[in-house]
Amino acid sequence: MNALKNPKNGRHFAKMACAFALLGVFLCVSCGNKKVNVAAALKKGIHEASSLMVAVPGKSYSILATEVTQELYKSVMGENPSGFDGEKNLPVECLSWYDAVMFCNRLSEKEKLEPVYSVDGETDVEEWGYSPHKAAEFKPEIKWRKNANGYRLPTVEEWQYAAKGGQNYKYSGSNDLDKVGWYGEIEGLVAIGKTHPVAQKAPNSYGLYDMSGNVWEWCWDSYSHCKRYNCGGGWNSYAVDCEVGYRNDYFAYYGDVNLGFRIVRSSSKK
């Protein structure tokens, strides 16, 4: 991730200056036979992911309409590791890829679904011997149980297909990044911005918000044995990082204030 140092928190951020045009939240969005009232769900508070899952047309999976919020994460994990807080519906961040995988299994268990990920055949994350947010590599192999019906991270292909929304825009939902994404929040060499509540910009045609900008989103795919891909760019990224065809890679144990995730579920699974 392109980065500059922010003296306030010692983290590193990307350089890109821009102006922002605030847009209202769409009251509801539809996708095939699935209709999601995003505004109502956010106002109520997201504690069940199923209320915001959108079926992807022509594909056998559904995807969360927004990035995983701090409220949803805390309702499942009992804690919030984010560097930014104080506002409702902020995306959760400061998460490693391992943390995101653990969340998926915990959420699946909460909603009485079959967890997707396992270590040595064990799906109970309490038995994995992993301590969240420790910035350390987890040696055991995490496997994807493809017949399980629970929540998981999208593949890069799934993420990019959903982000395109059946259109040919450079960014998710528009060729004008200011309309659909938060990005480039720095002044000179100092990062001055932060994450923003989800679904404040316009969605793409599938009704998915913030797939360009706000926070990078972890994907399942590996770049190497210790690195995983993430997509979408963040609030402090260059515009090119927010293009739907762009992907980045980072160490799976890494977490930062511009790195979060969203979840998918294979819709053919019952």
- Per-residue pLDDT of 131-153, as tens digits, reads 999 888 899 999 999 999 999 99
Residue 97 pLDDT class (50, 70, 90 cuts): very high
Residue 28 confidence (pLDDT) above 70: no
Q: What span, in angstroms and rounded, lies between the C-alpha atoms of 118 and 114?
A: 11
Mean pLDDT computed over 49-74: 95
Domain spans, the chain: 29-266
Q: What span, in angstroms and rounded, lies between the C-alpha atoms of 8 and 243?
A: 29
Residue 156 pLDDT class (50, 70, 90 cuts): very high
**What are residue 222's phi and psi, to 5 degrees?**
-100, 140
Residue 7 confidence (pLDDT) above 70: no
The tokens for 136 are 């350390």
Please state the separation of Cα 31 from the chain's center in Å.
19
Which position has the higher pLDDT, 26 or 226?
A: 226
Residue 9 confidence (pLDDT) above 50: no
Residue 34 is predicted with a pLDDT of: 57
Residue 35 is predicted with a pLDDT of: 67
Angle between helical axes of 97-110 and 70-77 (0-180°, round to 10): 70
Residue 59 confidence (pLDDT) above 90: yes
Residue 176 confidence (pLDDT) above 50: yes
Percent of the chain with pLDDT over 70: 85
Residue 4 pLDDT class (50, 70, 90 cuts): very low
Residue 43 pLDDT class (50, 70, 90 cuts): confident
Rg (CA), the chain: 17
Q: What is the pLDDT of residues 65-90, one digit of tens each?
A: 999 999 999 999 999 999 999 999 99
pLDDT, mean over the chain: 87
Q: What is the pLDDT of residues 182-208, one digit of tens each?
A: 999 877 667 789 999 999 999 999 999
Residue 31 confidence (pLDDT) above 60: no
pTM of the model: 0.86
Whether CATH 3.40.50.720 fits 29-266? no
Residue 21 pLDDT class (50, 70, 90 cuts): very low
Which position has the higher pLDDT, 132 or 20?
A: 132
Q: Return the HEC string of 62-129.
A: EEECCCCEHHHHHHHHCCCCCCCCCCCCCECCCCCHHHHHHHHHHHHHHCCCCCCEEECCECCHHHCC
Residue 15 confidence (pLDDT) above 60: no
Mean pLDDT computed over 95-114: 97
